[in-house]
Amino acid sequence: MSPPGATILVVDDEPAVLETVRDGLAAHGYQVLTAGGGAEALQVAQAHQGEIALALVDVVMPGMGGPEVVQSLHASRPDLKVLFMSGFSTEVVVVHGLDTGAPLLVKPFSLDTLGRKVREILEYRRSPFARPPQPPR
């Protein structure tokens, strides 16, 4: 499914960020599922019967951090596209398990930037940040 109407799972432990991102994505025509943390994100994804096109996940959260959440989500939804977000520096998010080169939206961001970045990721058949397939050894 491609925009508009794609379902996006937003995961952030800050209620104000969660609400603002939800409202901004809805204004761009997306269906939005929200979760206030990692464990809730896994429950929401499991309960949702349809496709989830993208997970927009905060990197640094109490308990289960963003990279761990995504790893768990990929176990049941291997084609799920991901966009991380963080208000911390690149050095800090790498310490929290984010691969360098992973798609990252730095907070604060405008709703226009949010919409553009989400659209870019959803429009690629394969993530532009994915590593190329390795030849067999």
Query: Per the domain annotation, does 26 fall within a domain?
Result: yes
Query: Per the domain annotation, does 1 fall within a domain?
Result: no
Task: Look at the pTM and tell me if it is higher than 0.85.
Answer: no
Element (H, E) at 33: strand 31-35
Query: Per the domain annotation, does 106 fall within a domain?
Result: yes
Query: Per the domain annotation, does 117 fall within a domain?
Result: yes
Query: Per the domain annotation, does 128 fall within a domain?
Result: no
Q: How many residues does the chain have?
A: 137
Sheet holding 104-106, edge to edge: 31-35, 7-11, 54-58, 81-86, 104-106
Convert the pLDDT of each residue in 83-96 to its tens digit. 999 876 555 455 44
For residue 47, give its domain range: 7-123
Convert the pLDDT of each residue in 94-117 to its tens digit. 544 566 667 788 889 999 999 999
Query: Per the domain annotation, does 11 fall within a domain?
Result: yes
Number of domains in the chain: 1
Pick the more confident residue, 89 or 68: 68
pLDDT band for position 29 (cuts 50, 70, 90): very high
Convert the pLDDT of each residue in 8-19 to its tens digit. 999 999 999 999
